[in-house]
Amino acid sequence: MLDARAIRADFPLLAQREHGRPIVYLDNAATTQKPQVVLDALTDYYRTTNANVHRGAYDLAIRATEAYEAARVRVAQFVNAWASEGVVFTRGTTEAINLVAGSYGRATVRAGDTVVVTAMDHHSNLVPWQLLCQEKGASVRMVEITADGRLDLSDFGRALEGRPKVVALPYVSNALGTVNPVAQLARLAHAAGAVVLVDGAQATPHLAVDVQALDCDFYALSGHKMLGPMGIGALVAKPALLDAMPPYQGGGEMIARVWDDHSTYNQLPHKFEAGTPNVEGAVGLAAAIAYLERVGLDRIAEHEVTLAQAAIEQLSEIDGITVYGPRDHRAGVVSFTYGDIHPHDLATILDQDGVCIRAGHHCAQPLMRRLNVAATARASFYLYNDEDDLATLIAALAKAGALFGYATA
């Protein structure tokens, strides 16, 4: 286990109190808190380096461009990207997926084609494909899940028989914590002639990612879920694919030459980065990656899985609590319900003890329908959480149980 107490000292927000209690932040699948080094990187950038990038007629602008491009290299190394020009900065995972659907998808998906998604995809890896398929007269094929919240591999096989153009799936489910066997699924999808997009929003912060080993084609990630600032993320892609794709948005930076009625486009990755980019965000994300690498992704993954397993065990002992998702091959996300106590009531009650959890459909309404619930409560752990946080959660749940008349042994 990590020394979570020492790690917590690096995060100013976690020293705050909520309702007079020390904060127990268990909503890391929604967003993460930021260490001081990330906050410092943001202010240092504006104090010493700020200028618009790629227009370097003076030294300051050159330094800003270098900081921005160094951040790109850092992201590329972090996930073992094919090349740093295969890293396109976006606002986050959602924009990265919309970029692929709006550019690659629009150029390749035709009437009658199929795009495969899964019943555990976040709305951000579903709705862009619905929009594309509606526009093209194509169809979305959703792969089912098993009773214990894993992808149904035989249904995945059946979905591939339709020779889909694109297979989109999450590496880690944000609602169940399931870790999908992406490398295996990508191999099958490629054999069926599809390109593979992996939603890495919940994986990148929590386990060592190697996109070349996964052998996907597109990989999307969000900075704010991995200690970085909001509004920065990346699409990591095979450069040959990006090169063949039409631009996604038009504007400055993405062009080579502009005439009255047409333009030629900049080289990768700038072709996909129209307008002034989020340099501050990229610099902050690079600082977050440096922090995560110093702790070590393997140690973070082990820490979270240990906490999640303990959480599942302790939650399962409480009469009336149902835990969703698989028992193994999972990350630090634990979804549950408690009898007839609505998750929003649970969240309100836990909040009084400073415990922050998520209650709701987790932007996964098709999944909730399959679990036959309207909503779940979700506790998601990160490197700064420890057994004391879990104990506070369990005690607060006992309080909720008492309020609603459940026996709390």
What phi, psi does 249 have (nearest 5°)? -125, 150
Q: How far is the CB of 32 from another protein (least distance, A)?
A: 22
Q: What's the rounded Cα separation, in Å, for the pair 70 and 300? A: 24
Number of other CB atoms surrounding residue 178 within 10 Å: 27
In the beta sheet, which residues pair with residue 264? 257
Q: Where do we find the tokens 């400073």?
A: 354
Residue 257: Cβ-neighbour burial (10 angstroms; 0-12, 13-18, 19+)? exposed
* Closer by beta carbon to another protein, 4 or else 377: 377
Q: How far is the CB of 375 from another protein (least distance, A)?
A: 6
Q: How far is the CB of 91 from another protein (least distance, A)?
A: 22
145 in Cβ contact with 335 (< 8 Å):
no
Where does 224-299 show beta strands of DSSP type E? 233-237, 255-258, 263-265
Q: What's the rounded Cα separation, in Å, for the pair 212 and 55? A: 33
* Closer by beta carbon to another protein, 87 or else 397: 397
18 is a contact residue toward another protein (CB under 8 A) = no
123 is a contact residue toward another protein (CB under 8 A) = no
* Closer by beta carbon to another protein, 135 or else 340: 340
398 is a contact residue toward another protein (CB under 8 A) = yes
* Closer by beta carbon to another protein, 298 or else 313: 313
Q: How far is the CB of 281 from another protein (least distance, A)?
A: 26
* Closer by beta carbon to another protein, 265 or else 404: 404
Pick one of 195, 361, 383, 384: the residue that binds another protein (CB under 8 A): 361
Give whole-number Cα distances, 354 to 20, 21, 151, 177, 251, in Å.
8, 5, 35, 23, 45
The residue range among 41-49, 87-95, 239-247, 355-363 that interacts with another protein, by the rule CB under 8 A, is: 355-363
356 is a contact residue toward another protein (CB under 8 A) = no
Does an H or E element contain 75, and which? helix 59-78
Q: What does the DSSP assignment read for 156-170?
A: HHHHHTT--SEEEEE
393 in Cβ contact with 318 (< 8 Å):
no
Q: How far is the CB of 394 from another protein (least distance, A)?
A: 10
The token pair at 53 is 């990038």
Radius of gyration of the chain (CA): 22
Q: What's the rounded Cα separation, in Å, for the pair 45 and 48? A: 5
* Closer by beta carbon to another protein, 191 or else 409: 409
81 is a contact residue toward another protein (CB under 8 A) = no
Q: How far is the CB of 365 from another protein (least distance, A)?
A: 9
* Closer by beta carbon to another protein, 134 or else 348: 348
Check if 133 is active-site: no
Q: What's the rounded Cα separation, in Å, for the pair 409 and 400? A: 13
399 is a contact residue toward another protein (CB under 8 A) = yes
Site for another protein in 324-353 (CB under 8 A): 340-342, 344-345, 348-349, 352
369 is a contact residue toward another protein (CB under 8 A) = no
Pick one of 49, 126, 360, 378: the residue that binds another protein (CB under 8 A): 360
Q: How far is the CB of 409 from another protein (least distance, A)?
A: 7
Residues that bind another protein (CB under 8 A): 340-342, 344-345, 348-349, 352, 359-361, 374-375, 395, 398-399, 402-405, 408-409
Q: Give the residue numbers marked as catalytic.
A: 363
